[in-house]
Amino acid sequence: MFVIIKTKTGLGEASLCLSDNKNYITKSTHQMQFLKDMPGHEIVPGFTGRFVHGKQGTLSFVDIKKGSRLPEHHHIHEQISHVVEGEIEMVIGNETIILKAGSVHVIPSNMPHSAYAITDCKVIDAFTPVREDYKF
């Protein structure tokens, strides 16, 4: 016999799973979200992000308008960027590269970098540790 009991709490849903073979509890403190329902936040003009935070990192989904520029900056976070759509020119350290749809790149902690959107873009960035400054 296998039984799942679900309940909604103020924090989300929790499930208790009972089985003849195993007794275990699964807990979920957050409800599932859909990206399309999450509010966007403008990082700089032309860069709008949606952010999901875990205990150890942040995942960001960024829509970038053609011609928008992210000024040179650096942060303690390691950043892994994946271009989903479009082309973006990045200067990382003193190297200029063009990232196209399907490309990925790792930006080490404290490495100066900037970006210029050659076309409209969709980019997914993963950061560790958590980007506290992106908690809106």
Over residues 7-41, the pLDDT tens digits come to: 444 444 444 444 444 444 445 555 788 999 999 99
Q: Which of 113, 131, 120 is nearest to 54 (CA)?
A: 131
SS3 70: strand
β-strand pairing of 47-53 with 41-44: antiparallel
The residue with greater pLDDT, 27 or 82, is: 82
The type of residue at 75 is H
> Residue 29: its pLDDT value, please?
57
The average pLDDT across 52-61 equals 97
Write down all domains in the chain, each with its CATH number in brackets.
Answer: 1-32 (no CATH), 35-134 (2.60.120.10)
The average pLDDT across 64-74 equals 98
Kindly report whether the global pTM for this prediction surpasses the value 0.95. no
> Residue 62: its pLDDT value, please?
98
> Residue 28: its pLDDT value, please?
53
| pLDDT band per the 50, 70, 90 thresholds, residue 117 | very high
| Distance in Å from the first CA to the final CA of the chain | 44
The average pLDDT across 78-104 equals 98
79 pLDDT above the threshold of 70: yes
